């Protein structure tokens, strides 16, 4: 994989030190990173900004990663979500995937694996947007008489 990945990522984790370190590491690899420390902030953030991927911690006070994923997907079904957790359980992973999470990774996360998953999420989102644009164009052309 290329050293630089041009992607916009929202990081959501209540552990501020972890968030800061991961944000710096991703920024150093060329990503555009926005960090928030709660599910509530993440949900508000996706209403106003576009991201290629959202990386959400599973265990957070207030709205946890599962509920954050659910609410983000309700507002922005096109967003690709990667769940990170230090408390991995098969049940939680299955629940997150059912709600639309793209992937489920354990902390401490291997940066190269995370970068690969963010790249995959960006590509999947771009493909989805392209298909939607094509369908929109077909609908427009059907309604025109030229």
Give pLDDT tens digits for 46-83: 998 999 999 999 989 999 999 999 999 999 998 999 99
- Please check the confidence at residue 89 and state whether its pLDDT lies above 90: no
- Please check the confidence at residue 42 and state whether its pLDDT lies above 90: yes
Helix (H, G, I), strand (E, B) or coil at 91: helix
Question: Mean pLDDT, to the nearest integer, of 7-21?
Answer: 96
Give pLDDT tens digits for 96-140: 888 889 888 988 899 999 999 999 999 998 998 899 999 999 999
Peptide bond into 108 cis (omega under 30): yes
Are the C-beta atoms of 25 and 140 separated by less than 8 Å? no
The predicted structure's pLDDT at residue 4: 65
Domains, in order of start, for the chain: 8-143 (3.40.50.2300)
Q: Find the helix packing angle between 65-75 and 90-98, rounded to 10°.
A: 10
Which residue is associated with the tokens 């959501």? Answer: 12
Helix residue ranges, H only, 10-110: 16-28, 39-48, 65-75, 90-98
Between the CA of residue 112 and those of 1, 116, 119, 135, 142, what are the distances in Å?
9, 6, 10, 35, 45
Are the C-beta atoms of 2 and 18 separated by less than 8 Å? no
Q: Which helix (H) or strand (E) holds 85?
A: strand 81-85
């Amino acid at each position: 994989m290329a050293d630089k990945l041009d992607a916009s990522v929202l990081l959501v984790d209540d552990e501020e030190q972890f968030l800061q370190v991961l944000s710096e590491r991703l920024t150093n690899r060329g990503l555009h990173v926005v960090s928030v420390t709660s599910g509530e902030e993440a949900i508000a953030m996706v209403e106003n900004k576009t991201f290629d991927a959202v990386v959400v911690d599973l265990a957070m006070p207030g709205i946890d990663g599962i509920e954050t994923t659910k609410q983000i997907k309700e507002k922005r079904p096109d967003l690709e979500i990667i769940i990170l957790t230090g408390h991995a359980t098969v049940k939680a992973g299955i629940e997150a995937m059912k709600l639309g999470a793209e992937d489920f990774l354990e902390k401490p996360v291997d940066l190269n694996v995370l970068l690969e998953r963010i790249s995959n999420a960006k590509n999947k989102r771009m493909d989805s947007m392209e298909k939607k644009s094509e369908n929109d164009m077909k609908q427009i052309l059907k309604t025109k008489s030229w």
